Amino acid sequence: MTAHSPNKNKAFEASSITPRQKDYAQWYNDLVLKSGLADYSAVRGCMVIKPYGFALWENIQRQLDRMFKETGHQNAYFPLFVPKSFLEKEEGHAEGFAKECAVVTHYRLKTDPERKGKLIVDPEARLEEELVVRPTSEAVIWNTFKSWIRSYRDLPLLINQWANIVRWEMRTRLFLRTTEFLWQEGHTAHASREEAVEEARRMLQVYADFAEQWLALPVLKGVKTAAERFAGAEDTYCIEVLVQDGKAIQAGTSHFLGQNFAKAFEVTFTNRSNQQEYVWATSWGVSTRLIGTLIMAHGDDHGLILPPRLAPVQVVIIPIARSNDQLQQMAQAARQLQAELAAQDLRVMVDDDPQQKPGWKFTEYELRGVPVRLALGPRDLENGTVELARRDTMTKETVPLGGLPARIKILLDDIHRSLYARALQFREQHTTYVTTYEAFKKVIEEKGGFVVAHWDGTTETELAIKEETKATIRCIPLDQQPVPGTCIYSGKPSQQQAWFAVAY
């Protein structure tokens, strides 16, 4: 087995990827744009998700949707627009989202009487009440739940929505933070606090399982501090992923909303004792940000490394030939092999484009992060073999054609485990326990990663540390035993350690 060296031909997209060490942010953008996942759009802060990126999102959706349905949830669809007065009803919620809302004020354009072919907003078509493009749907959904819930028999109400969301972000980054993004938002209603908390935690676990089993990513599961909580929640649970520049990404959140929205929208139910009670709520969501997360966690200087269970193309077959006649023959053999693998539910493509050389194609599919590459030449055909290369390790070997589907299935699982193990090892190597603020600052500045430290539990201290170091408390892990100690910043008593990091 030998490692590939990237081809130096100038035409190769991959050769122009900025190395991570040189400029991590540019490396990330190069991967997204050059692999064909997404494009910038002409609309500020919005992106175009290209077919390759969307196929990845469809695979993510399919698995999550199955997991939501297996846990008893049903999909529904609620309006894109939130009347301004709805947003006002839950005070914390309003404050949290008011500053980043796209606001619809008019419902008609008209032709400009002074400039031919131009349109202007029709001043006579002003809305009585402005509509906000949903930054999240609690307000619209709880206003609807009011008419769906009468009695304890209507509970729990377990709803999920796949939708587009708009938050007017000032600084955007493809997939990780865009003005418009795609997500799912679960909204559930329950008869008791306990049941709602259990639901919020259950869905956090669904996200964690999805990350581990499908994204090949270990996640830190925990609860947010008050300062980092969702606007309108009593508790926000989260999964946090550490990526290769040592920063954390909040990859999913699940909120216990208490009775805040039930009170704001007056949603009550008749309990078993025939009394009126406010309903308990949760909401939870993950978004196209998951794609940014997996790129940052797994990619290398050759391009994407897609987790095999979600990769739109799991295997690419490249026929190798010296002449066009021979290429046709090899392409035919490649298509036969494709059919054999596809029959075993593998996602396979053949690239027999005569206009590009094999070396170019190798680099191209490395860039696109296809987990397994098969190169099939005349000699292979004679010998009943094929050259198999795996993207994660960039190694290759010659293997028999016989039994190839089974071999590839095992290999894909192996790649999955190996990606997960690599990410876990990285996280462990980049998790540092400190007892002094000096050490804290040094780690944040020089090494990055998670820094675990005692914290006095106050927002004041948390914000002071953020101000001075840019590091925030990502969460208090759920599975952590609270051990008392001394706050690294204030020197006051601390009940537990918090996990800090600089975050996206």
- Binding residues for a second copy, rule: CB under 8 A, are 39, 41-43, 46-51, 53-55, 57-58, 74-84, 86-88, 91, 94-95, 98-111, 117-119, 121, 130-133, 140, 143-144, 147, 153, 159, 163-164, 166, 168, 180, 182, 355
**Cα separation of 494 and 169, whole Å?**
35
CA-CA distances (angstroms) from residue 456 to 45, 314, 453, 487, 489?
38, 48, 10, 5, 8
Q: Helix axis angle, 51-70 relative to 193-210, nearest 10°?
A: 140
The residue (of 41 and 326) whose beta carbon lies closer to a second copy is: 41
Q: How far is the CB of 383 from a second copy (least distance, A)?
A: 34
Q: How far is the CB of 117 from a second copy (least distance, A)?
A: 6
Q: How far is the CB of 165 from a second copy (least distance, A)?
A: 10
The residue (of 147 and 273) whose beta carbon lies closer to a second copy is: 147
**Cα separation of 70 and 50, whole Å?**
30
The residue (of 107 and 433) whose beta carbon lies closer to a second copy is: 107
* Residues 257/233, Cβ–Cβ less than 8 Å: yes
**Cα separation of 413 and 403, whole Å?**
16
Q: How far is the CB of 91 from a second copy (least distance, A)?
A: 6
The residue (of 129 and 325) whose beta carbon lies closer to a second copy is: 129
Name the 3-class secondary structure at 182: strand
- For residue 114, how many other CB atoms are within 10 A of its CB? 7
Q: How far is the CB of 309 from a second copy (least distance, A)?
A: 19
* Residues 243/430, Cβ–Cβ less than 8 Å: no
The closest of 47, 275, 323 to 175, measured between CA atoms, is 47
The residue (of 8 and 115) whose beta carbon lies closer to a second copy is: 115
The residue (of 110 and 470) whose beta carbon lies closer to a second copy is: 110
The closest of 449, 468, 465 to 457, measured between CA atoms, is 465
Q: How far is the CB of 440 from a second copy (least distance, A)?
A: 35
The residue (of 119 and 227) whose beta carbon lies closer to a second copy is: 119
Which residues have C-beta within 8 Å of that of residue 69, sequence separation ≥ 6?
A: none
The closest of 1, 349, 42, 356 to 179, measured between CA atoms, is 42
The residue (of 134 and 221) whose beta carbon lies closer to a second copy is: 134
* Residues 302/27, Cβ–Cβ less than 8 Å: no
Q: How far is the CB of 49 from a second copy (least distance, A)?
A: 4
At 488, give phi and psi (nearest 5°). -65, -25
The residue (of 1 and 119) whose beta carbon lies closer to a second copy is: 119
The closest of 352, 333, 348 to 401, measured between CA atoms, is 333
Strands 372-376 and 315-319: parallel
Q: How far is the CB of 367 from a second copy (least distance, A)?
A: 18
Q: How far is the CB of 177 from a second copy (least distance, A)?
A: 15
* Residues 471/444, Cβ–Cβ less than 8 Å: yes
